[in-house]
Amino acid sequence: MALPKIILHGYWRSSASYRVRIALNMKGVAVTHRSVNLRAGDQKQSAHLDLNPQGYVPILELEDGTCLTQSLAVLDYLDATYPEPALMPRDAILRSKILAASLVIASDIHPIQNLSVLKYIRAEYGQGDAAVKEWVQHWITRGFESLEAMGNASKEFFLTDTPMFFECCLIPQIYNARRFGVDMTPFPKLLAVEARCQALSAFENALPENQADAPTADE
């Protein structure tokens, strides 16, 4: 069987790649996964920079070679191109609120704990593992506090009764939070959404440890 012609350039543990994997699974869009090993520095190679001058993952490479970058912009493309199930509602206000919550993660949490920022703090400010962990925990906790206040507890998911755009962002960020030892107990609304998402195969199949490029347990 031929491999799907749409290619997702990503990395198992990249939370922005993880967002796109969830959306692709929800939409039922088959892609060929191509691993960009961030720990080995693949993202700084010219082959990668030719596809995305920013040197980040994910990149969704379409059949004609068009490369889409920035996970939220990829989600927007997928939702426009594969309408079912919808990642965004039609109502402009609800849509704006879902996007705002997604941006709390994609703008105000994730970039500040990105690999390149952590490297800067280590190299320029001489900070070690404990300080880096504290930095990451600080920004995740601060963002999650806002989100906990923004959710609608009367809905099955964050603001809606089906998982949407926001849930594609939330689940990878909670995964990251656990990795950095963030105390999740103050965030019951977020945890309830997480539990409902985890029961769905679109989310399960997108899990970092379920990717082909994830290391085996003893690595």
Interface with its own copies (CB under 8 A) = 53-56, 62, 66, 68-70, 72-74, 76-77, 80-81, 92-93, 95-97, 99-100, 103-104, 106-108, 110-112, 114, 117, 120-121, 124-125, 127, 131, 135, 138, 145-146, 149-150
Toward its own copies, which CB reaches closer, 111 or 180? 111
Nearer to its own copies, 65 or 212 (CB): 65
For the CB of residue 219, give the shortest distance to its own copies in the complex, in Å: 30
Nearer to its own copies, 59 or 211 (CB): 59
One-character DSSP codes across 164-215: -HHHHHHHHHHHHHHHTT---TT-HHHHHHHHHHHTSHHHHTT-GGGSTTSP
What letters, b where the CB count within 10 A reaches 16 and e where it falls short, cover 181-198?
ebebeebebbeebbebbe
Shortest Cβ 145–its own copies spacing (Å): 7
Decide: helix, strand or coil at residue 68: strand
> What does DSSP say about strands 32-35 and 7-10: parallel, antiparallel, or unpaired?
parallel
Query: Considering the complex, what minimum distance in angstroms separates the CB of residue 182 from its own copies?
Result: 17
Least separation in angstroms between CB 86 and its own copies: 14
Instruction: Give me the least distance between CB of 96 and its own copies, in Å please.
Output: 4
Cβ proximity to its own copies, 124 vs 218, nearer residue: 124
Q: How far apart are CA 43 and CA 55, in angstroms?
A: 5
In the complex with its own copies, the residue whose CB is nearer, 15 or 211, is 15
- Dihedrals φ, ψ of 33, to 5°? -90, 130
